[in-house]
Structure 1
């Protein structure tokens, strides 16, 4: 029987296979700890988790202060691609790195499906 972490990694790898524009992904706790990842060797887990926690914290503060409701997702667009965070319940976030040519509608759809699959594992 697979552990929870192994199950999460399986879902992350399926996300990357189904959406080739997603280069890497991770499940990060709201306090910035990696729970599972499917990251290339040149991407540091600690850096992804720390940045995810910082983005999530700032996004939540902005949503709260500007009365936009509960935070659902945060994304950053850079010239070389996107960093997208999507809530997995209230305990974790799905972080994905996507290519600049990514079709965001498909990326968001597949990330939402994956987040829904992961919700019982976090």
Structure 2
């Protein structure tokens, strides 16, 4: 098991997430811990596209550098967090997620991953 996967598994263990993935900024999967039925390649491609659009929106509306994107659906959350300029951390959480705890744990994982990428 690689170090990226260990960090993702620790994040899931600490928060009860449904899954987590680390993807490159150009939409390629780096590492993931996902439930069966979730496609790593699809998540990677969509995440890179969303992050790219979010960066453009933040820049065009003069809100500074993009830090995070949260998508809320009927069945839960998708949270995308930049890891430097080279990667994106994607987490999948259900509606019962405690967002404060989740955001704190995402920040810890982000800090660890930044030192590795």
| Superposed pair shares fold, TM > 0.5 | yes
Which residue, out of 4, 10, 14, partners 1:14? 10
Partner of 1:102: 97
Shift of 1:23: 0.7
Distance 1:11 1:48 in 2: 18
Distance 1:52 1:69 in 2: 20
Aligned residues: 117
- RMSD (Å) for aligned C-alpha atoms: 0.9
Partner of 1:31: 26
Task: Render the CA deviation track for 1:99-118: whole Å, top value 9, x for unaligned.
Answer: 11111111111001001011
Distance 1:89 1:57 in 2: 13
TM-score, L = length of structure 1:
0.93
Structure 2 unaligned segments of length 5 or more: list them: none
